[in-house]
Chain A
Amino acid sequence: IAGITQAPTSQILAAGRRMTLRCTQDMRHNAMYWYRQDLGLGLRLIHYSNTAGTTGKGEVPDGYSVSRANTDDFPLTLASAVPSQTSVYFCASSEASEGDTQYFGPGTRLTVL
Chain B
Amino acid sequence: GQNIDQPTEMTATEGAIVQINCTYQTSGFNGLFWYQQHAGEAPTFLSYNVLDGLEEKGRFSSFLSRSKGYSYLLLKELQMKDSASYLCAVKDSNYQLIWGAGTKLIIKP
Contact = CB atoms under 8 A, between A and B. Distances in A.
A53 interface: no
Contacts, number: 45
Contact of B101 (A42, A90, A106): A42
A104 B36 CA distance: 11
B87 A104 contact: no
A104 to B, nearest CB: 4
Interface string B16-42: 000000000000001101000000011
B11 interface: no
Interface stretch (B56-64, B75-83, B91-99): B91-99
Interface string A96-113: 011101111111000000
Nearest to B31: A99
A41 B101 contact: yes
A104 B8 CA distance: 22
B41 A106 contact: yes
Contacts of A98: 30, 95
Assign chain A's interface to a size class: 10 to 19
B105 interface: no
A34 B46 CA distance: 20
Which of B44, B48, B99 has the most chain A CB atoms inside 10 A of its CB?
A: B99
A42 B96 contact: no
Interface of B: 4, 8, 30-31, 33, 41-45, 48, 87, 89, 91, 95-102
20 contacts: A40-B101, A41-B101, A42-B99, A42-B101, A42-B102, A43-B97, A43-B99, A44-B99, A90-B42, A97-B95, A98-B30, A98-B95, A99-B30, A99-B31, A101-B33, A104-B42, A106-B41, A106-B42, A107-B41, A107-B42
Interface of A: 40-45, 58, 90, 97-99, 101-107
Instruction: Pick the 3 closest A-B CB pairs, nearest first.
Output: A42-B99, A99-B91, A104-B42
